[in-house]
Amino acid sequence: MAIESEVVVVGGGLAGAFSALAAAREGADVRLVSYKQSTLAQASGLVDVLGYAPGGDGPVVDPYDAIPDLPEDHPYATVGVDGVRAGMALFDEVAGRYRGDHTDRNAMLPTHGGTVKPTARYPSGAAAGVASDERDALLVGFDALVDFDAPHAADHLRNAGVPFDVRGVSITFPGDLNADAKVTRYAKLLDADAEVPVGGSTRTARAALAATVEPHLDGAERVGFPAVLGDDDPAAVRASLESALGVPVFEVPMGPPSLPGLRLEDDLYAALDEAGVSMETGNPVVDYEDEERVTRVVVDRNGAKIPFAADQFVLATGGLVGKGIDSDREGVREPIFDCHVPHADDRYEWFDHEAFGDHSFARFGVPTDETLRPLDAGGDVEFENLRAAGSVLGGADFAAEKSGSGVSIATGRAAGVSAAEAAR
Amino acid sequence: MASTPHIAVVGGGSTGTGVARDLAMRGFDVTLVEQGNLTHGTTGRMHGLLHSGGRYAVSDQASATECIEENRVLRDIASHCVELTGGLFVKRPEDSEEYFQEKLAGCEACGIPAEVVSGAEARAMEPHLATDVEKAISVPDGAVDPFRLVVANAASAVEHGARVETHSKVTDLLVEDGEVVGLEVDHSSGPGVRVHGTEGGRETIRADHVVNATGAWAGRIGDMAGLDIEVRPSKGVMTIMNVRQVDTVINRCRPKGDADIVVPHETTAILGTTDEEVSDPEDYPEEQWEVDMMIETLSELIPMLEEARTIRSFWGVRPLYEPPDVGSEDPTDITRDFFLLDHDERDGLPGMTSIVGGKFTTYRMMAEDIADHVCDRFGVDADCRTADVPLPGSEDFTVLRDYMDEFGLQSPIGRRSVERLGSRAEEVLDVDGPNPTICGCEAVTRAEVQDAIESSGSDLNAVRIRTRASMGNCQGGFCAHRLAGELQDSYDEPTVRAAWDELLQERWKGQRHALWGQQLSQAMLNYALHATTQNRDRDPADSAEAVDFAAFDDGSGADTGTGPATDAGVATDGGRDGD
Ligand SMILES: Cc1cc2nc3c(=O)[nH]c(=O)nc-3n(C[C@H](O)[C@H](O)[C@H](O)COP(=O)(O)OP(=O)(O)OC[C@H]3O[C@@H](n4cnc5c(N)ncnc54)[C@H](O)[C@@H]3O)c2cc1C
Ligand SMILES: Cc1cc2nc3c(=O)[nH]c(=O)nc-3n(C[C@H](O)[C@H](O)[C@H](O)COP(=O)(O)OP(=O)(O)OC[C@H]3O[C@@H](n4cnc5c(N)ncnc54)[C@H](O)[C@@H]3O)c2cc1C
């Protein structure tokens, strides 16, 4: 006998989490089956809704104004402005650490490369860093942490025209971390506030860090650090630094491994737990069984094939990065259900010749009907009880648009809600 | 002669830098000009095979003999650029036995140590070889890093007093009274190392003699003085795999053919190649069928290639030359030998000599010929020493000792750095302050990057070829911005940004030919890292239009309203950290 649920969600990234959460909140009995870590570990932790219109116009101030103009095959067009709003409302309910829900407008956030980018929600740890805030800033980098070069980022921000004075300084992180220490080592040291050697004696890590930064303050009204300020308890780390320095402290979002992304993932998994979603992680779905509709998905657990049966299924396996979309020299496909993925036959048409050109691979994914059910090449529904959400959907270049999380949250919620309704 | 003759060398490939080194060591005043980076031309786009001569042992025994001689020399003078991989000529059932025997006899005739090994023995050496490979001939092929070797030649030339100008294009030859007397040069950013955004300038370089070592471009330099130099550029593709499927050079033992060789190179294996005549050495089609053919044909030798991941492909153009009276139809019939064209003798135009054709492996010998010729012209009596004096970095091979401990580098990072730097390791790695890894794929540390920046100006592609940073699996996805950060200490932000953009674009160029499977995933990940996380694709600093920051959320109000936003959530963490 297969394990039975009303709704099975395949994929545990943002889209899968929001599908499962939404379906569970509608009262369905939900199981989430996911393989590897999601792309949240790679993402900055900022939650974008729409920063640029397709074609590059922007930065967009109000994403909700721009959504109605998106092309028909865009996932936002499928769920509509209301669907996006509903998704973000659910996000705001469960992501207590986030800011930005007080307005529809985007915020411009500094990035570790020294650009600014438009985003809809930002971790509270990054809040004091918003670029429309006119307070003068000092950016602090650590000389062995190569992903954030503070003097470079500061100069870059200045040339991006930010409305405040910004300086950057590179310091040696107190303690004797080795040159290739991972970001989690910095975070753990600050969480534990362990004694570190300073001069001839020792000091607690936070105090030692603040003391190293202090001489560089020189009138700065806020201080930014790379996003390594604590893993378990970032607010406490920030609070210690703020009280020692006497000014607000913020984190600058970084690339992988991204602590803000991982913190968000922790919060989502806790919310899923609370909502009663059962979880099965660490093994891939490799196959499915059907009689016109999908009856089961099959998980490969060390060679054993474990079936999971349900009334409704949600496909939230991600895009090219999450491996929800796969390709070889001959073509592009969705590997579990073999849903149709439109693409040019000639693989030299999948990309543009400019690094940041209009890449068609960035929009690879499954097309759907208005209820997010994947469509085959003839435009018919693939399976009556299968919905798709997140980056596995085609039609959005989230990287260019800055729409990654928003698309996953909005379509995830919508797919979860309709799966739960259909299961009734 | 009253003063030291001044020789201008055009072309910063293996030939030109080899010539510059040789002439400088023999006491000439030398200026080398190169339109791009060192290795900008064919030298930076070759297969990396240090020929044993085996490939030419049947068809072109003169070249084969030169190859084995130079193979021995380079192991000595360029030990830090060479990996002694060994090579195999493998025979499949459908390949001719007669040719196999000819190959063996040819190797013997040319003095190339060769030994027959059984299929089983070959598979014991290279487990991924196809099970139906019958037997093989083992030869002393090797792998060579063209970037490192050319940079070392240029460094040695400079040590001997030469001036090396990169990003300096020869736009005309100065001809006075029926003699070439110098060059018109266009510096893209002024003399010295290249700095983005620096005002360029023109310079007239007068010389007592000009050496045209521009390879596939030699005809264009000739045109500037009305000379006909019949170079026949022929393109070839190379496809880079993400890992080394083999540690030995694998050749197919059959007469000339496409897609018949795999060369292990650093962390990768490189498949090659094709041979197609093109009209323009800078503008030729790079086609899908060529990449597909590499994978499909070479899978016959190494079946796992069919499913393996490639990280990019690139093309190079051979500077083939044949004397006007030969007239080969097929470029594969054109000799691989080199030719010294004395334009005085040949065209009645004194003041310039061209060198065309040849191979990377024989660059030193070619340079020696040219330098002998120049000495002759000027009555200079100086012996060639380039076969005996090691290149900088290869001086003392015992340096491969415990630098890892000495510089606090962890294996395998330390090992790889020291292998790349050779005897320069101490000088480069002994730095104050932490020495973190900048490029994880290729294990390149800050000290190496900073050392490269000193001789590369703001040019991150020049840093790349010196260090291999951004040349591994992720193709710069994770390290491009770090490299930009490293430039920051020496250059201002707009300069850094321009160099960063150029690196991203250069890395993209080769990846386009590897966009399926895992490398397409990687490309999407890189795109997301650069565009989503860093917003580099819409970088406001690059935009003509200023961002209206006041129109966006400035954070005020974020924490007010219905109470602290910390409590707004149903908070799975219950506002656990008040965050
Ligand atoms: C580098 C990077 C940076 C980003 N930065 C931002 C940003 O700054 N702002 C923003 O808003 N968004 C950003 N995003 C986008 C965002 O983080 C998500 O990638 C996007 O929302 C897609 O989420 P998803 O849930 O659809 O897919 P994913 O996160 O890819 O999750 C898919 C999940 O499905 C699982 N899975 C796949 N196949 C199977 C299978 N066969 N069986 C079981 N499970 C399977 C995977 O293991 C994974 O857990 C970024 C993305 C990347 C890659
Ligand atoms: C596909 C392929 C694979 C190969 N594989 C191997 C191999 O495995 N082993 C081997 O030994 N050989 C190999 N070769 C051959 C070898 O690469 C070449 O013979 C050698 O690199 C030629 O070097 P060069 O210095 O003569 O020419 P180049 O490297 O082309 O140098 C000429 C330089 O002149 C510069 N230049 C041109 N015009 C101007 C101007 N107007 N002003 C200033 N500078 C100018 C160019 O930018 C260029 O850098 C291969 C060749 C190809 C095409």
**What is the model's pLDDT at position B192?**
78
B64-68 long-range Cβ contacts below 8 angstroms, 24+ apart? B64/B106, B64/B107, B64/B110, B64/B112, B65/B110, B65/B111, B66/B337, B66/B362, B66/B365, B67/B359, B67/B361, B67/B362, B68/B110, B68/B111, B68/B112, B68/B140
pLDDT at A292: 83
Size of interface A-B (CB pairs under 8 A): 291
Per the CB < 8 A criterion, the answer to whether B39 and B150 are in contact is: yes
Among the listed residues B574, B62, B415, the one whose alpha carbon sits nearest the alpha carbon of residue A267: B574
Is residue B563 pLDDT above 80, yes or no? no
CA B364 to CA B371: how far, in whole Å?
10
Locate the chain A residue with the closest alpha carbon to B498: A156
What confidence score (pLDDT) does residue B195 get? 85
pLDDT at B562 over 80: no
The strand pairing partners of B8, in sequence order, are B31, B210
What is the pLDDT at residue B2? 55
Environment class of A400 (CB within 10 Å of its CB; exposed 0-12, middle 13-18, buried 19+): buried
Q: Which of A8, A31, A33, A38 to mutate to test the pocket of ligand 1 (most atoms within 8 A of CB)?
A: A38
Query: Tokens representing A51?
Result: 């920063």
Q: Is B233 in the pocket of ligand 2 (CB under 6 A)?
A: no
Burial status of residue A73 (CB atoms within 10 A of its CB: 0-12, 13-18, 19 or more): middle
A21 — contact with chain B (CB < 8 Å)? no
Pocket of ligand 2 contains residue B10 by CB under 6 Å: yes
Same domain, residue pair A50 and A10 = yes
Nearest to A188 by CA among A237, A154, A146, A222: A237
A-contacting residues of B 284-343, CB under 8 Å?
288, 292, 295
> Bridge-partner residues for A296, per DSSP?
A289, A309
Confidence of residue B468 (pLDDT cuts 50, 70, 90): very high
B559 vs A361: CB contact, 8 Å cut-off?
no
Burial class for B544, CB neighbours closer than 10 Å (0-12, 13-18, 19+): exposed
Q: In this predicted structure, what is the pLDDT of residue B438? A: 96
Query: Domain check: are A229 and A301 in the same one?
Result: no
In short, whether A115's Cβ falls inside 6 Å of ligand 1 is: no
Q: Is the pLDDT of residue B560 over 60?
A: no
Q: pLDDT (tens digit, 9 = 90+) per residue, A103-161?
A: 999 999 999 999 999 999 999 999 999 999 999 999 999 999 999 999 999 999 999 99
Pick from A59, A106, A329: which is nearest to B516 by CB?
A329
User: Is residue A255 one of the residues assigned to a domain?
Assistant: no
Contact criterion met (CB < 8 Å) for B481 and A147: yes
**Does ligand 1 have an atom closer than 6 angstroms to the CB of A408?**
yes
Q: Which residues are CB-neighbours of B320 under 8 A, at least 6 positions away? A: B231, B232, B233, B234, B331, B334, B335, B336, B357
Does position A87 have pLDDT exceeding 90, yes or no? yes
Instruction: Compare B402 and B126 and report the one with higher pLDDT.
Output: B126
Chain-chain contact of B507 with A116 (C-beta, under 8 angstroms): no
The pLDDT score that the predictor gives to residue B429 is 87
The yes-or-no verdict on residue B571 having pLDDT over 50 is no
- Rounded to the nearest whole angstrom, what is the distance from the C-alpha of residue B524 to the centroid of ligand 1? 11
CA distances (Å), origin B383, targets B16, B98, B162, B351: 19, 44, 18, 22
Mean pLDDT confidence for A190-204: 92
Domain assignment of residue A330, yes or no: yes
Residues within 8 A of A (CB atoms), B 486-515 only: 486, 488, 492-494, 496-497, 504-505, 507-508, 512, 515
- A233 C-alpha vs ligand 2 centroid, how far in Å? 57
Query: pLDDT at position B403, please?
Result: 47
Judge whether A55 lies within some domain: yes
Report phi then psi at A113, rounded to 5: -85, -5
- pLDDT category at B345 given cuts 50, 70, 90 is very high
Query: φ and ψ at B294, to 5 degrees?
Result: -55, -50
The helix, strand and coil proportions of chain A, stated in percent and rounded to the nearest 5, come to: 35, 25, 45
Mean pLDDT of A203-217: 97
Number of structural domains chain A divides into:
2
Whether the CB of B404 is below 8 Å from some CB of chain A: the reply is: no
Which of A133, A161, A254 has the CB atom closest to B554's CB atom? A133
Q: Ligand 2 pocket, B467 CB below 6 A?
A: no
How many angstroms separate the CA atoms of B461 and B470, rounded?
9
Residue range B4-17, pLDDT digits in tens: 999 999 999 999 99
| pLDDT value, residue A50 | 98
Rounded CA separation B254/B275 (Å): 16
**Is the bond into A115 cis (omega within 30 degrees of 0)?**
no
Residue given tokens 């079946």 in the structure block: B303
Which long-range contacts (C-beta less than 8 Å, at least 24 apart) are formed by A186-193?
A186/A142, A186/A145, A186/A228, A187/A228, A187/A229, A187/A230, A187/A231, A187/A234, A187/A259, A188/A231, A190/A228, A190/A229, A190/A230, A190/A237, A191/A230, A191/A231, A191/A232, A191/A233, A191/A236, A191/A237, A193/A237, A193/A240
User: CATH code at A317?
Assistant: 3.50.50.60
Report CA(B509)–ligand 1 centroid distance (Å).
26
**Same domain, yes or no, for A153 and A30?**
no
Task: Among A285, A325, A405, A407, name the best residue to mutate to test ligand 1's pocket (greatest count of ligand atoms within 8 A of Cβ).
Answer: A405
Does residue A179 register a pLDDT over 60? Answer: yes
Chain B residue closest in CA terms to A324: B521
Length of chain A: 424
Q: Which of A247, A277, A303 is the last residue of a domain?
A: A247
Residues of A in contact with B486 (CB under 8 A): 146, 149
HEC readout, B284-322: CCCCHHHHHHHHHHHCCCCHHHHHCCEEEEEEEEEEEEC
In a domain, A45, yes or no: yes
Please tell me which residue of chain A has the smallest CA distance to B440. A180
Percent residues over pLDDT 70 in chain B? 93
A210-230: average pLDDT: 97
Domain co-membership, A15 together with A38: yes
Mean pLDDT on B365-382: 96
Helix/strand/coil (H, E, C) string of A126-172? HHHHCCCCCCCEEEEEECCCCCCCHHHHHHHHHHCCCCCCEEEEEEC
Mutate to test the pocket of ligand 2, among B67, B145, B359, B365 (most ligand atoms within 8 A of CB): B359
A193 assigned to some structural domain: yes
> Which pLDDT value is given to residue B422?
85
Q: At residue B409, does pLDDT exceed 70?
A: no
Predicted confidence at residue B399, as pLDDT, reads: 45
Say which DSSP state A88 is in: H
Does ligand 1 lie within 6 Å of residue A234's CB atom?
Answer: no
Nearest residue (by CA) to ligand 2, atom 47, is B41
B560 in contact with A, Cβ within 8 Å: yes
Specify burial of residue B509 (Cβ count, 10 A radius: 0-12, 13-18, 19+).
middle
Nearest CA to ligand 1 atom 31: A13
A-chain CB neighbours of B490 within 8 Å are none
Judgement on whether residues A18 and A150 belong to the same structural domain of the protein: no
A399: contact with B, CB 8 A cutoff: yes
Nearest ligand to the CA of B46 is 2
Please report residues of A whose CB lies closer than 8 A to that of B505.
354-355
Asked if A281 and A361 sit in the same domain, the reply is: yes
Closest residue by Cα to residue A193 from A248, A242, A230, A142: A230
Distance CA B476, CA B482 (A): 9
d(CA A125, CA A234): 8
Residues A273 and A160 reside in one and the same domain: no
Q: Please indicate, yes or no, whether residues A272 and A226 belong to a single structural domain of this protein.
A: no
Q: A185 with A84, same domain?
A: no
pLDDT of residue B327: 78
- Assess whether pLDDT exceeds 60 at residue B574: no
Indicate the average pLDDT of chain A: 96
Residue A293, beta-bridge partner list: A291
Reported as a single tens digit per residue, the pLDDT across B46-84 is 999 999 999 999 999 999 999 999 999 999 999 989 999
| Residue A121 within any structural domain of the chain | no
Could you tell me which residues come within 8 angstroms of residue B186 by beta carbon, excluding any fewer than 6 positions away? B168, B169, B171, B200, B201, B202
pLDDT at A96 over 60: yes
Buried/exposed code over B370-398 (b: 16+ C-beta within 10 A; e: otherwise)? bbbebbebeebeeebebbeebbbbbbeee
A419 and A276 assigned to the same domain? yes
Structural domain range at position A95: 3-100+262-423
Domain final residue pick, A180, A213, A247: A247
Q: pLDDT tens digits for B232-254?
A: 899 999 999 999 999 999 999 99
Q: Do A198 and A274 fall into the same domain?
A: no
Does A369 fall in a domain?
A: yes
**E strands in A11-57:** 30-34
In a 3-state reduction of DSSP, which class is residue A18? helix
Nearest-atom index, ligand 1, CA of A33: 43
Tell me the Ramachandran region of residue A344: left when phi exceeds 0, alpha when psi lies from -120 to 50, beta otherwise: beta
Q: What's chain B's average pLDDT?
A: 90
State the sign of the Cα–Cα–Cα–Cα dihedral B197, B198, B200, B206: negative
For B54, the 3-state DSSP assignment is helix
| A276 shares its domain with A419 | yes
Q: Return the half-sphere exposure (C-beta side, CA atoms, 13 A cut-off) of residue B260.
A: 16
φ/ψ (deg, to 5) at B504: -60, -45
Q: What is the pTM of this model?
A: 0.90
Looking at the complex, report in whole angstroms how far the Cα of residue A99 sits from the nearest Cα belonging to chain B.
6
Please report the DSSP string for B543-578 in residue order. -SSPP-GGGSB-STTTT-SSS-GGGTS--TTTTTT-
| Interface check B2 vs A, CB under 8 A | no
Last residue of a domain, one of A247, A271, A290: A247
Rounded distance, CA A53 to CA B528, Å? 17
Q: Is residue A112 part of a domain?
A: no
Domains of chain B are 6-42+147-230+336-378 (3.50.50.60), 83-143+233-317 (3.30.9.10), 449-570 (no CATH)
In the stretch 432-451 of chain B, residues with CB closer than 8 A to chain A read: 433-438, 446
Q: Is the CB of B170 under 6 A from ligand 2?
A: yes
Q: What is the DSSP letter of B390?
A: P
